[in-house]
Amino acid sequence: MRDRRLRGLTLIEIIVSLAILILLAGLLFGATREARREGFRASATSDGRQLYLAIAAYSEDAGRWHIGPMDDIVRSGQLTDARILRAPTDDLPLGYGGEILNRATLFRYESEYPVSWETHFRGTWLGAERFYDLVGSFDSNPGILALRVLGDKHDLKTPLGANLVFLYSGPMLRVRRDGSIQRARYAFRRYRGAPGELGGQQGCISHLFTDVRDPELCRVDE
């Protein structure tokens, strides 16, 4: 009788073995990716706490809560290491916060330091102060900083160029007024334009700073 230990693998056995290896590789890749993301979140959480302390100290000296550009915090000396303004996952030249301030608002602001965190200065046509007050009227402990670059990155190229405002969605971090760090989610929807018109994306900026979902908060983006 021929020794069965010497026979070769059949085609089915090879396919099954390859399928198992591919499945294991996929599971390992997913676990590694999630571990890296969790590491980035932990690092960003630590940076967020430092930024909060700097903002709180600056605000106490100024006599009002600071909701403007982070450059002011660095220039004041309250934040000694400007590198923490930029998240390790942010690959934009000015940082995500700096890029959208320059390209997605009705005004231009040249940030001195690459910054990934968004403030109410990102705002709307209402202006930062009024926008902050409006959010605060719905939420007694609103966010003062938001970090989207830990989420899912999208390819949002359009005939008019990339829409940076909607480059990231999904998981984000929010630094709240009491100093707590909150995990949240930011979502937007895509829509098709009418015949002959461009489609686009639509989101609600207030969702960066509060979990309150009220239509009045979203109307400020219109």
Q: Does 90 have pLDDT greater than 70?
A: yes
Q: Does 28 have pLDDT greater than 50?
A: yes
pLDDT score for 173: 94
Q: Which residues pair with 168 in a beta bridge?
A: 153
Question: Which of 121, 140, 99 minimizes the C-alpha distance to 205?
Answer: 121
pLDDT score for 6: 47
Q: Does 9 have pLDDT greater than 80?
A: no
Q: Which residues pair with 152 in a beta bridge?
A: 169
In the predicted model, what is the mean pLDDT of the chain? 80
User: Alpha-carbon Rg of the chain, whole angstroms?
Assistant: 23
Question: Cα–Cα distance between 44 and 84 in angstroms, integer?
Answer: 8
Token pair of 108, please?
């231009």
Question: Cα–Cα distance between 146 and 20 in angstroms, integer?
Answer: 41
106 against 208, higher pLDDT: 208
pLDDT (tens digit per residue) in 177-207? 999 999 999 987 765 555 444 445 677 888 8
Q: Lowest-confidence range among 1-5, 26-30, 126-130, 162-166?
A: 1-5
